[in-house]
Structure 1
Amino acid sequence: MTKPSVPNAGPICVPCRLAAIGAVVLVMAGGFAYVAGWLTPQRLTPHRVINAFETDNGSHPGFRRNHAKGVCVSGYFDSNGNAAALSSASVFAPGQTPVIGRFAIPGGNPSAPDTSVPIRSLALMFTQHDGEQWRTGMNSVPVFPVHTPEQFYQQLVAAKPDPATGKPNPAALKAFYAANPETQPFQAWVKGHAPSSSFANGSYYSVNAFRFVDANGEARAVRWAMVPETPFAPITDAQKNEKNFLQADLAQRLQDGPLRWHLIVTVAAPGDPVNDATLQWPAGRQQVDAGMLVIEHETSQDDGPCGDVNFDPTVLPTGIQPSDDPLLAARSAAYSLSYNRRTREEALNPNLHHPQPNGGRS
């Protein structure tokens, strides 16, 4: 079998007005809720950012403030040993590691239509035999719209829905984009790529850079992607008229057998940006097929194993370290606050757990 490479799905021109792009950027950003705990309270705090998400998405007690609509999955990672030279993490030694995961769409509304955004996400928790965990949150877009936590918060403010229309104010978004040209690669990618027709046939990217550390202590900057064996197919016209199709599609596919993704690790070259998630690395970088992610089961997140997992991407085993990307510490701080709020709400009101099609409480 030919080793897959991280794909650049063929461009598909999709006319998109400014307000629509603003909504996409908002919900995509919602998947990451970035704000650093080390920023001073006078400037920015996790509470201000999470409060902004609650304002923009409405009140949904017991749910994640972002990626509220999703489904639990489980399976394993079958390492081929190829990445063991890059990282001493035992997940890369030959053999299998159990995995709990979660497919979702960005946004804080658990009842949002699957067609409300063109982005899909995949979060995973690998539990190594030594008890250490590797948690990662990935999206189907290889870049992030902004570079810093401050920009992210400004974007939230600009994308606040107008009560009269329920949509972001195009003038506010236009002003934000003009002041932040870093958003252009993300906007261009969204305009040029159709959303996938399934969770199963999408690629998922780490977006942020990390560092793999080998047994000798040598560190290399890397990004990774989950590349599906299922051929990519764009969303169909019939699906565009459906509110909930992604979970049903996933369940149907799993009835026919497990789904598989190659874990492709891309190694940075000297000079590649490792602290800016708005920039892709040039083509031609070293890529390592580290093994196969195998998803065997899906379960409603109302009672599934992913419900109580905080997919904090800075929970890393020995052999993997965060880079100096300022968004990583920010992600961790905001994920923690979101987790604490929803679990407190659940503890105070056990009746919050209401199963929904392709939705969930977490």
Structure 2
Amino acid sequence: MPLPSDEVLLKTAQELFSQMQTLSGKYPGKRPAHSKGILLEGTFQPTPEAGKLSKATHFNSPSTPIFVRFSNSTGIPTIADNDSNADPRGMGIRFTLPSTSDGKRSHTDIVMHSTPFFPTRTGGEFLEVLHHLIAGTIGDYLPTHPAALAFVQAPKPAPVSYAQEEYFSVSAFKLIAEDGKVTFVRYKVVPTLGVEFVDAEALKEKDAEYLQTDIKERIASGPVSLKLLAQIAEEGDVTDDCTVHWPESRKVVELGTMEINKVTDDNAARQKTIIFDPIPRVPGVAPSDDPLLEMRAALYLLSGRERRAA
């Protein structure tokens, strides 16, 4: 995946990377955001409905291998799991697809976090938020920026487990059917075990590694199951602004089930090299016009190259 040729986009992504490191500290070989995490493996089995909405391979094959990375917020790789700054949590999903005709490895990813909110529409606006955070003037910024204020005020309770948390794609995507029909969706992941949070007092008594320990123990006892859903946009719904949410009344369909059954070997090394891509880049799934997607893709690639070089 090449870096974008758009000079403004690339410059903003580089500034975001630098400011994130200023905010959390510089940790060579680590991500500037959602640094602490764990990489897992499993399979994805799609529903018949997924195949009707998209011609993509992973929505039409009986089973597709996946990697899943759960993570804490911030760029601090040692942040405690019971630290309130560790929310929202993150989730990256990689669908490992058959090799292309020329023998190249193929995959597509979904990047999510545990709140449906995002504070800004563009990368440039998010850079402005980081500047105010570093300068200590975020309190002056928020009252005049309702989207950022909504993100800050949104509840972000700690989960009892990575496997009992909901995750949201925030941005919209296009699912493209075999006949060319386009459906705008937003992804959501829900746990089959149900969502459960830890109250603030109980969280203080939790171990700093409680989420890491929990997910390892669960998988040692059997697969962890999560459902991939799609909220479907209706005519007139905004699809190019991640700060605008669709009504809860919009139809939600189940796209498939993820069964996570293994902690990846050489975990730290694999986390260092894997670069999740917010843009699908496969037939049957396409990005919307949300400007945050290209910015996130550029930022993730910069981060990945830095990690691999460290």
TM-score by length of 2: 0.90
* Aligned with 2:26 (options 39, 59, 63): 59
Which of 213, 220, 233 matches 2:196? 233
Find the counterpart in structure 1 of residue 124 from structure 2. Answer: 150
1:49 equivalent among 16, 20, 36? 16
Amino acid in structure 2 at the alignment position of 1:233: E
The 8 Å contact of residues 108 and 277 in structure 2, kept in 1 or not, is answered as no
1:171-250 matches, within 5 Å, as 172-190=137-155, 193-236=156-199, 237-241=201-205, 242-250=207-215
The equivalences for 1:306-317 within 5 A come to: 306-317=271-282
Is the contact made by 1:37 and 1:333 (CA closer than 8 Å) also made in structure 2?
no
Alignment partners' CA distance in 2, 1:231 and 1:224: 17
> Residue type matched to 2:183 in 1?
R
> For the residues of structure 1 that align with 2:40 and 2:160, how far apart are their CA atoms?
18
| Separation in 2, partners of 1:268, 1:301 | 40
- 1:359 maps to what in 2? none
Greater shift, 255-264 or 228-237, is seen at 228-237
Instruction: Tell me, in whole angstroms, the C-alpha distance in 1 between the residues paired with 2:15 and 2:151.
Output: 24
- Secondary structure of the residue aligned to 2:214 is helix
SS in 2 for 1:200: helix
Residue 125 of structure 1 aligns to a residue in which SS?
strand
What CA deviation, in whole Å up to 9, does each residue of 1:39-98 have, x standing for no partner?
A: 638x95222111111111112111112111000100010112211111110111151000
The one of 122, 134, 146 equivalent to 2:91 is: 122
Query: Which ranges of structure 2 fall in alignment gaps of 5 or more residues?
Result: 101-105
Q: Measure, in 2, the Cα distance between the counterparts of 1:293 and 1:304.
A: 24
Q: How far did residue 152 of structure 1 move?
A: 0.1
Task: Go from structure 1 to structure 2 and tell me whether the alpha carbon gap of 1:101 and 1:325 turns closer, same or farther (over 3 Å shift).
Answer: same
Contact kept in structure 2, 1:64 and 1:342, CA below 8 Å: yes
* 2:236 aligned with 1:271: yes
Q: Which residue is 2:301 aligned to?
A: 336
More displaced stretch, 97-106 vs 121-130: 121-130
| Residue 44 of structure 2 corresponds to residue 70 of structure 1 | no
One-letter amino acid of the structure 2 residue matched with residue 204 of structure 1: Y
Give the Cα separation in 2 of the matches to 1:143 and 1:301.
Answer: 33
Q: For the residues of structure 1 that align with 2:266 and 2:165, how far apart are their CA atoms?
A: 21
Letter in 2 for 1:215: E
TM-score by length of 1: 0.77
What code does the residue aligned with 2:204 have? K
**Corresponding letter in the other structure for 1:214:** A
> Does the residue aligned with 2:304 lie in a helix, a strand or coil?
helix
1:187–1:227 CA distance, 2 compared to 1 (3 A): same
Partner secondary structure for residue 337 of structure 1: helix
Q: Aligned pair in 2 of structure 1 residues 220, 313: CA closer, same or farther (>3 Å)?
A: same
Percent sequence identity over matched residues? 29
Tell me, yes or no, if the aligned pair for 1:81 and 1:94 is still in contact at 8 Å.
Answer: no
